[in-house]
Structure 1
């Protein structure tokens, strides 16, 4: 593997791991006291997907289905998600979607994270660098989707 690609992958992973930790510790919002970071991430994933299955959430969050089941149970109790059946014939296939309350929580949490990151980066990142970042990640998203990963 090209050493530059290896370094890029390593840097990306470091930013994802340590950046996530910094954001979790840095965001001061009441939602982050009521919901765990994993629950908020799950709400974001469901919000982005529209509706999804517990199996898909387990893959996206890289955890066992039992962890997803626990999170789903807690979020159902808080009335931020609901279970829906698309196909009345196949009762095994159940989808999870956000309730109106869940959509509101997702939007508020997303706003808090975006504001925190914007404040963190605003004084350190130039406009040209932001454009390069966007260009690169749009291209990367396209490549990943072209390989059938969604």
Structure 2
């Protein structure tokens, strides 16, 4: 079990590395050229979590708060996010996705989904996809339960 788990972890890391490289090169969309992968990731996190503080965004993206501050500033200038101070703590900013941010994220996701569909078309069977989805749902549930505890 331990060896299989280590192989699974290694494969997952390799897929993340090669997948990121592939999609950065292959996704042909004006949105992917205008916004960095880090900016798109920020939009995805805000979409998934709702409003987040700069500190929480930095934590979720594994970067220093100064990097998030610069990223948020650029996204705010483009009208994709809005920031507001927390009433009881004027040092903390809360960031939320705007309607335009949601539209940009939708367009980015559409471009990625189309690229992935083309890449895997006729390469992975429906049965393999069903098994993949089942396994990843289980992993997601495990991770969400660990986060709650």
Task: Report the counterpart of residue 80 of structure 2 in structure 1.
Answer: 80
Distance 2:49 2:34 in 1: 23
Unmatched segments (≥5 aa) in structure 1: none
- Aligned counterpart, 2:67: 67
Equivalent residue number for residue 52 of structure 1: 52
> 4+ residue stretches of structure 1 with deviation over 2 A?
87-94
Give, in whole Å, the separation in 2 of the partners of 1:54 and 1:114: 28
Distance in 1 separating the partners of 2:127 and 2:148: 29
Paired with 1:5 and 1:147, the residues of 2 have a C-alpha distance of 18
Query: Which is worse superposed, 125-134 or 45-54?
Result: 45-54
Equivalent residue number for residue 39 of structure 1: 39
> Relative to structure 1, is the Cα distance of residues 116 and 149 closer, same or farther in structure 2, using a 3 angstrom cutoff?
farther
Aligned residue for 1:124, secondary structure, equals coil
Output the aligned Cα RMSD: 1.7
Structure 1 segment 1-150 matched on structure 2, within 5 A? 2-85=2-85, 87-148=86-147
Q: By percentage of residues, which structure has more strand?
A: 2
Aligned residues: 149
- TM-score computed with the length of structure 2 as normaliser: 0.93
